């Protein structure tokens, strides 16, 4: 199917959306025509210390900006469709997924051995290897390396790990300038916003949003939102900073124990600039990124870009095995909660993640609410299962931002049982008393109803009657958030239970 929004339109009102000749009043309907003026970019969730993030509130603000919400949904669904096309071009796709999953599970269950093997081989290659227990230690180690070299500016390529470590904030506090080299990440840096997606950091922004940011920060024409003009202007502004930088930083998509090297995949070649322009290269890499042998790399490289962007391979797959002549290379291996997660019986397989973003692109909640609504480093389905491992209270609302439809699990190239882990987190949060009283009470009432067939059937009958006769304002009013984005189902003439009784006469007690 090519259309992301398959609702039929009505000839009388091309902007309206109709079903069975009834105009739909939900968010994508035409009750609020799109405005011709540029729409203000909705901002992300408000973080208040350790208090739970209100994802639903931020998502509601995102959906209240229909141009952004529609553009976001369509862009990501387009990536999902491209991914499907690539997947269908590889007959052994499911075997590749199974193999990738098995390699990751094997590696994670022998993590200590492979990390030690990597360290020994990397040192033999002339790489300095450091170990960081947490974000603070990571930041201190990198600062120490930069201070030893008198470095005052650092160019870096996109890395979710450094977002986890709030690395740029730390560097600002010690007076070192950090310049992002990935275009999307640079846009987010200039706008003082976190990335909203792990692969396409500024996917929630329209061209006019980017034009506004660049006009304020690098002096472009605020009325010109041509993408070529914007990209070229940013390149012109950033290139001198890159050429003058004292040090470069990359992440690492895969670390190979057998060779002591690591691999960085990008589409802009910016990691190669970060690694090769200055003489000092620092790579910050999570310990779960390790794979045993070089031959395993092919499995992941075939899966990564197809799953992420629906392209057969990333434009640049750069291998680093040691410092360049006259240069210096450091690898900082970061734990930051990963060892603890490895010990969590229900959640350890989340460490298999290769950060492709496919689960985000397919998720109906993520596509409609925007990554910044999660108020966390990792958003979308993968965020729902990782974020609570960092702080169960702060991210306690996130596992509820899912329909549990399982699409995330189906597309995951390393076969993480994402939707099952989301469900497991809900149980865990109830156990830890991190679920609001109203939600707990509603779930208890639903449980009671569903466990009593007679009461359930009576409730279904009453609901069917209500659906047929309730005035619309009862559902669609300012007080009922449910009605803002949903259309009531039509009452059916016969429920499945009635049909079953009439045709099979079964006893379903």
Nearer to ligand SF4, 257 or 356 (CB): 356
Helix (H, G, I), strand (E, B) or coil at 131: strand
Question: Should residue 412 be labelled a site residue for ligand SF4 when binding is judged by CB under 6 A?
Answer: yes
Question: Using the rule CB under 6 A, is 200 a contact of ligand SF4?
Answer: no
Using CB under 6 A as the binding rule, whether residue 358 contacts ligand SF4 is answered as: yes
Beta-carbon count within 10 A of 255 CB: 24
Cβ proximity to ligand SF4, 290 vs 358, nearer residue: 358
Question: Which listed residue (309, 354, 398, 429) binds ligand SF4 by CB under 6 A?
Answer: 354
Minimum Å gap between C-beta 254 and ligand SF4 is 13
Compute how many residues bind ligand SF4; rule: CB under 6 A: 15
Pick from 171, 382, 401, 435 the residue near ligand SF4 by CB under 6 A: 382
Residue (333 or 354) nearer to ligand SF4, CB = 354
Interface segment toward ligand SF4; rule CB under 6 A; list 25-33, 175-183, 293-301, 411-419 = 411-419
413 binds ligand SF4 (CB under 6 A): yes
Distance CA 358, CA 379 (A): 12
419 near ligand SF4, judged by CB under 6 A: no
- The nearer residue to ligand SF4, 42 or 413, going by C-beta atoms, is 413
Name the DSSP class of 46: P
CA nearest neighbour of 258 among 229, 221, 290: 290
Q: Which stretch binds ligand SF4 (CB under 6 A): 154-162, 215-223, 237-245, 408-416?
A: 408-416
304 binds ligand SF4 (CB under 6 A): no
CB atoms within 10 A of CB 128: 14
Which of residues 130 and 197 has its CB atom nearest to ligand SF4 in the complex?
197
The one segment of 81-89, 117-125, 215-223, 357-365 that binds ligand SF4 by CB under 6 A? 357-365
* Contact region with ligand SF4 (CB under 6 A), list: 230-238, 315-323, 410-418, 489-497: 410-418
Judged by CB under 6 A, which stretch of 14-22, 256-264, 409-417, 471-479 contacts ligand SF4? 409-417
Q: Is 353 in the site for ligand SF4 (CB under 6 A)?
A: yes
The minimum distance between CB 307 and ligand SF4, in angstroms, equals: 6
d(CA 163, CA 334): 13
The residue range among 1-9, 282-290, 349-357, 461-469 that interacts with ligand SF4, by the rule CB under 6 A, is: 349-357
In the complex, the smallest distance separating the C-beta of residue 313 from ligand SF4, rounded to whole angstroms, is 16
- The Cα 274–Cα 276 span in angstroms is 6
Cβ-contact 287, 111 below 8 angstroms: yes
Nearest 5°: phi and psi at 352? Answer: -75, -15
CA atoms within 13 A on the CB side of 382: 28
| Contact status: 249 vs ligand SF4 (CB under 6 A) | no
Q: Which of 200, 249, 255, 356 binds ligand SF4 (CB under 6 A)?
A: 356
Distance CA 282, CA 165 (A): 15
Question: Alpha-carbon distance 125 to 119, whole Å?
Answer: 10
- Give the C-alpha separation, 147 to 151, whole Å: 6
Report which of 243, 247, 285, 278 is spatially closest to residue 263, judged by C-alpha positions. 285
In three-state secondary structure terms, 15 is strand
Which is it for the CA torsion 335, 53, 376, 416, positive or negative?
A: positive
Regarding 357 and contact with ligand SF4 (CB under 6 A), the answer is: yes
Strands (E) in 325-364, as ranges, are: 328-334
Q: How far is the CB of 383 from ligand SF4 (least distance, A)?
A: 9
Phi and psi angles of residue 129, each rounded to the nearest 5 degrees, phi first: -110, 130
CB of 406 to ligand SF4, least distance (A): 12
**Stretch (H or E) spanning 129:** strand 128-132
Q: How far is the CB of 353 from ligand SF4 (least distance, A)?
A: 3
- Provide the strand spans (E) within 289-418: 290-291, 316-320, 328-334
Q: Nearest approach, Cβ of 310 to ligand SF4 (angstroms)?
A: 13
416 touches ligand SF4 by CB under 6 A: yes
154 burial (CB, 10 Å; 0-12 / 13-18 / 19+) is: buried
Question: Closest CB to ligand SF4 among 87 and 418?
Answer: 418
By the rule CB under 6 A, 201 interacts with ligand SF4: no
* 291 forms part of the interface with ligand SF4 (CB under 6 A): no
The region, left, alpha or beta by phi > 0 then psi within -120 to 50, assigned to residue 404 is left
- Taking the complex as a whole, the smallest distance from the CB of residue 191 to ligand SF4 amounts, in Å, to 24
**Choice between 135 and 363, CB closer to ligand SF4:** 363
Question: What's the CA gap between 177 and 299, in Å, rounded?
Answer: 37
The torsion angles phi and psi of 470, rounded to 5 degrees, stand at -65, 130
Cβ burial 25-43 (10 Å sphere, 16+ → b, else e) = bebbbbeeeeeeeebebbe
Which listed residue (96, 146, 264, 359) binds ligand SF4 by CB under 6 A?
359
- Distance from C-alpha of 248 to C-alpha of 176, rounded to nearest angstrom: 12
414 counts as binding ligand SF4 under rule CB under 6 A: yes
Nearer to ligand SF4, 100 or 211 (CB): 100
User: For binding to ligand SF4 (CB under 6 A), which residues are involved?
Assistant: 307, 353-359, 382, 411-414, 416, 418
């Amino acid at each position: 199917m090519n259309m992301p929004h398959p609702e039929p339109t009505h000839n009388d009102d091309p902007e309206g959306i109709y079903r069975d000749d009834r105009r739909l009043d939900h968010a994508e309907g035409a009750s609020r025509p799109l405005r011709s003026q540029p729409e203000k970019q909705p901002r992300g969730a408000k973080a208040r210390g350790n208090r739970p993030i209100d994802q639903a509130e931020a998502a509601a603000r995102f959906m209240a900006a229909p141009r952004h919400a529609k553009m976001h949904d369509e862009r990501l669904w387009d990536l999902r469709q491209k991914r499907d096309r690539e997947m269908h071009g590889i007959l052994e796709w499911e075997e590749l997924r199974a193999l990738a999953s098995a390699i990751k599970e094997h590696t994670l269950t022998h993590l200590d051995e492979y990390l030690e093997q990597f360290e020994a081989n990397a040192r033999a290659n002339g790489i300095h290897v450091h170990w960081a227990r947490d974000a603070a230690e990571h930041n201190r180690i990198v600062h120490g390396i930069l201070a030893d070299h008198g470095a005052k500016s650092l160019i870096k390529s996109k890395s979710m790990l450094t977002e986890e470590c709030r690395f740029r904030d730390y560097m600002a506090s010690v007076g070192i300038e950090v310049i992002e080299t990935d275009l999307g990440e640079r846009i987010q840096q200039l706008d003082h916003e976190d990335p909203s997606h792990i692969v396409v950091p500024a996917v929630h922004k329209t061209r006019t949003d980017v034009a506004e940011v660049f006009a304020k920060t690098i002096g472009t024409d605020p009325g010109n939102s041509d993408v070529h003009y914007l990209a070229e202007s940013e390149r012109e502004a950033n290139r001198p900073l890159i050429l003058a930088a004292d040090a470069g930083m990359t992440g690492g998509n895969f670390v190979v124990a057998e060779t002591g090297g690591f691999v960085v995949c990008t589409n802009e070649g910016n990691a190669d600039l970060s690694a090769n322009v200055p003489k000092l290269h620092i790579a910050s890499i999570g310990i779960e990124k390790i794979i045993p042998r070089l031959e395993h790399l092919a499995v992941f490289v075939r899966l990564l870009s197809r799953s992420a962007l629906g392209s057969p391979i990333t434009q640049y797959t750069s291998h680093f095995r040691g410092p360049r002549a006259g240069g210096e290379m450091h690898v900082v291996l970061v734990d930051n909660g990963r060892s603890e997660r490895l010990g969590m019986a229900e959640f350890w397989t989340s460490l298999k993640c290769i950060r492709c973003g496919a689960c985000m692109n397919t998720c109906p909640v993520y596509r409609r609410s925007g990554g910044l609504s999660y108020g966390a480093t990792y958003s979308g389905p993968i965020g729902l299962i990782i974020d609570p491992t960092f702080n169960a209270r702060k991210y306690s609302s996130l596992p509820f931002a899912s329909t549990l439809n399982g699409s995330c699990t189906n597309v995951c190239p390393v076969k993480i049982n994402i939707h099952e882990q989301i469900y497991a987190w809900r149980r865990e949060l109830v156990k830890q008393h991190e679920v609001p009283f109203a939600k707990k009470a509603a779930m208890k009432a639903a449980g009671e109803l569903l466990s009593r067939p007679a009461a359930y059937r009576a409730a279904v009958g009453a609901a069917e009657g209500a659906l047929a006769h309730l005035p619309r304002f009862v559902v669609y009013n300012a007080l009922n958030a449910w009605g803002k984005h949903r259309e009531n189902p039509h009452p059916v003439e016969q429920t499945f239970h009635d049909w079953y009784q009439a045709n099979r006469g079964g006893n379903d007690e």
